[in-house]
């Protein structure tokens, strides 16, 4: 089955202790779409300016990503610049230039409204709503978010939680959303807000899934060299939904595997700047890393 | 097989957001010995003062712990008081009264010098050396440590690393010991300092083992209510060595299981103050939690 992915499409200027790169292809939807493309056909919904490099459009196309829903508007592409601290766990934003993203309103081509698997990658909850308003009968909707929306658009986000099947967020966001310092009981509170699946990302410490079947604890892939974690969370959820859409059988039976596949793609993402490494791998490399992960947790 | 455990035997006064308890039975050797006792006979080596409550000696004995190596000296038992912050990840020491511990020098009864499994629980590296000097032919020696010894007794600790089979430490200590910010490459450096097995504790994020067989990533048991994490690390390594000593076959084949058993015992430890909860469980409860852990990571 194919996947619809809506989110930001941006140019990222990244500074890390390992080096710097200006104006890489970035944004939540870019990372998620490339990650999902290893498993399923992807329809991308987003907006870029008329300065958007042709090379990046070609990159999407090489991954078979359908760009019918990518608006190209007069003006500048969303540009983000950020700098990571030595341990790469913290980063600060140096610059945010919204450009054409400021007036973005996702418009789904008719052909995309029947897609069954939907990823609302990290953008404003009001835009995530706008996508769902246009979908006919999605089978599985997963949404990502970030602390910014918890702070400035909490009501929109709370309304969204009642419309989705799964929420992905990191542990500090789970605490922020619920005011509960224990992430395990925080997740119980998130279930009561709507989503029947809650996936908590913990960076180098892996992730976990909570659902009516209980918990699933997923490791992170141990990386000796972290080059740039930008987009790792987007790659994780992109790989997850892409794998899920590729599998027969009930969602519940495939979700654990999907999290492990997302974990594997995210680990590659961290090994290069922007999408450098992710675009250099193939399905076989991902499968090998999943096998390694299996061996790493077996006892 | 039986296990020799040397470490601190103390009275702990503990303040947490969930309450306070004065003068509980504590110390690295107390927690580790009770944890190990669920799997193997334990010989405890330590020192207490003549103020040490009879009830605590009885507690050790109820767990079948051999106290021949527990010195009872005139003076006061080591007393530690500490306070946890709201999230329980950070604590500060309110009081440290060494008492009879100040002049402690472990003396092993003749019968204990042939024990094959040795846990050097957290005490000064010079005392850990003194124990090894008296052992005849240990099969497996595992040492725990803490940031204090990295700061004030690093040379002793580095010499110790060449005498042990396995080192247990937490992730911040691994960084401190090696000066390497990436815990995965830090562990490689620790191998070069001596121990062929390195086990890194990450609290609520689980633990991992590095050895010539590669990595093993172990989860933590997800706890909704954390009451008091004091002694969790000691319970982890105590359960680990106790289980290991109880198993036939090569160490390498049992180490992953041992880490999971240690994880299970440590999770109970966190559910009560001091040893309250750990002393209220049995082997069956531990086995059940290990089964749960298996289900939590399976995909």
List chain B residues with CB under 8 Å of A226.
182
Rounded to whole angstroms, the Cα distance separating A75 from A100 reads 6
Rounded to whole angstroms, the Cα distance separating A288 from A60 reads 24
What's the pTM?
0.94
Is B297 near chain A, with CB under 8 Å? yes
CB contact under 8 A, B226 and A182: yes
pLDDT average, residue stretch A260-274: 98
CB contact under 8 A, B182 and A224: yes
Dump pLDDT digits (tens) for B83-94.
Answer: 998 878 789 999
pLDDT at site B70: 98
Q: Which tokens is B119 given?
A: 């846990």
Is A181 near chain B, with CB under 8 Å? yes
Please give, one letter per residue, the 3-state secondary structure of chain B. CCEEEECCCEEEEEEECCEEEEEEEECHHHHHHHHHHCCCCEEEEEEEECCCCHHHHHHHHHCCCEEEEEEEECCCCCEEEEEECCCCCCEEEEEEECHHHHHCCCCCCHHHCCCCEEEECCCCHHHHHHHHHHCCCCCEEEEECCHHHHHHCHHHHHHHHCCCCEEEEEHHHHHHHHCCCCHHHHHHHHHHCCCCEEEEECHHHCEEEEECCEEEEECCCCCCCCCCCCCHHHHHHHHHHHHHHHCCCCHHHHHHHHHHHHHHHHHHHHCCCCCCCHHHCCHHHHHHHHHHHHHHHCC
Rounded to whole angstroms, the Cα distance separating B89 from A92 reads 24
Question: Burial code of A134-147, b = ≥16 C-beta within 10 A, e = fewer?
Answer: bbeebebbbbbbee
CB contact under 8 A, A297 and B216: yes
Dump pLDDT digits (tens) for A141-150.
Answer: 999 999 999 9
Distance, in angstroms, between A200 CA and closest chain B CA? Answer: 12
Of A185, A206, A259, the CB nearest to B224: A185
pLDDT at site B18: 84
CB contact under 8 A, B182 and A208: no
pLDDT at site B130: 97
Range in A67-81, A88-102, A104-118, B248-262 the model is least confident about: A88-102
Q: What is the crossing angle of helices A251-270 and A28-37, to 10°?
A: 110
The ipTM estimated for the assembled molecules is: 0.90
CB contact under 8 A, B214 and A296: yes
List chain A residues with CB under 8 Å of B202.
205
CB contact under 8 A, B181 and A86: yes
Residue of A nearest to B204 (CA): A205
Distance, in angstroms, between A29 CA and closest chain B CA? Answer: 27
pLDDT bracket for residue A86 (50, 70, 90): confident
pLDDT at site B113: 97
Instruction: Give the percent of chain B with pLDDT over 90.
Output: 95
Dump pLDDT digits (tens) for B15-64.
Answer: 998 899 999 999 999 999 999 999 999 999 999 999 999 999 999 999 99
Is B205 near chain A, with CB under 8 Å? yes
Neighbours of B152 (CB within 10 A): 11
Mutate to test the interface with B, among A171, A179, A222, A291 (most CBs of B within 10 A): A222
Residue pair B255/B197 in contact (Cβ under 8 Å)? The answer is yes
CA B156 centroid distance within chain: 19
Q: Which residues contact A190 (CB under 8 A, 6 or more apart)?
A: A161, A167, A174, A177, A178, A198
Is A89 near chain B, with CB under 8 Å? no
Is A249 near chain B, with CB under 8 Å? no
pLDDT bracket for residue B73 (50, 70, 90): very high
Is B90 near chain A, with CB under 8 Å? no
Of A202, A222, A256, the CB nearest to B205: A202
Is A215 near chain B, with CB under 8 Å? yes
pLDDT at site A17: 87
CB contact under 8 A, A182 and B219: no
pLDDT bracket for residue A87 (50, 70, 90): confident
Dump pLDDT digits (tens) for B234-291.
Answer: 999 999 999 999 999 999 999 999 999 999 999 999 999 999 999 999 999 999 999 9
Is residue A88 pLDDT above 90, yes or no?
A: no
Of A86, A215, A224, the CB nearest to B296: A215
Dump pLDDT digits (tens) for A24-35.
Answer: 999 999 999 999
List chain A residues with CB under 8 Å of B271.
none
Distance, in angstroms, between B293 CA and closest chain A CA? Answer: 9
pLDDT bracket for residue B202 (50, 70, 90): very high
Distance, in angstroms, between A130 CA and closest chain B CA? Answer: 35
């Amino acid at each position: 089955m194919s996947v619809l992915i809506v989110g930001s499409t941006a140019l990222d200027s990244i500074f890390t202790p390992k080096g710097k790169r200006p104006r890489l292809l970035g944004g939540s939807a870019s990372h998620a779409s490339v990650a999902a493309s290893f498993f399923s056909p992807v329809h991308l919904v987003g907006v870029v300016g008329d300065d958007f490099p042709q090379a990046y459009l070609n990159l999407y196309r090489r991954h078979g990503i359908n760009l019918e829903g990518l608006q190209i508007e007069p003006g500048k592409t969303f540009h983000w610049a950020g700098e990571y601290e030595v341990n790469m766990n913290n980063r600060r934003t140096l610059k945010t230039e919204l450009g054409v993203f400021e007036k973005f309103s996702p418009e789904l081509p008719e052909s995309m409204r029947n897609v069954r698997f939907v990823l609302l990658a990290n953008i404003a909850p009001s835009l995530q709503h706008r996508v769902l308003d246009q979908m006919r009968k999605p089978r599985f909707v997963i949404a990502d978010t970030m602390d910014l929306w918890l702070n400035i658009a909490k009501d929109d986000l709370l309304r969204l939680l009642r419309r989705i099947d799964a929420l992905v967020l990191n542990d500090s966001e789970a605490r922020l959303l619920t005011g509960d310092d224990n992430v395990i009981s925080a997740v119980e509170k998130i279930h009561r807000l709507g989503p029947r699946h809650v996936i908590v990302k913990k960076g180098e410490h892996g992730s976990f899934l909570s659902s009516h079947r209980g918990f699933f604890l997923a490791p992170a892939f141990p990386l000796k060299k972290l080059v740039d974690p930008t987009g790792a969370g987007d790659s994780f959820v992109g790989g997850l939904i892409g794998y899920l859409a590729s599998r027969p059988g009930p969602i519940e039976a495939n979700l654990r595997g999907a999290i492990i596949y997302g974990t594997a793609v995210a680990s590659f993402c961290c090994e290069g700047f922007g999408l450098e490494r992710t675009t250099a791998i193939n399905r076989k490399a991902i499968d090998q890393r999943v096998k390694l992960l299996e061996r790493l947790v077996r006892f």
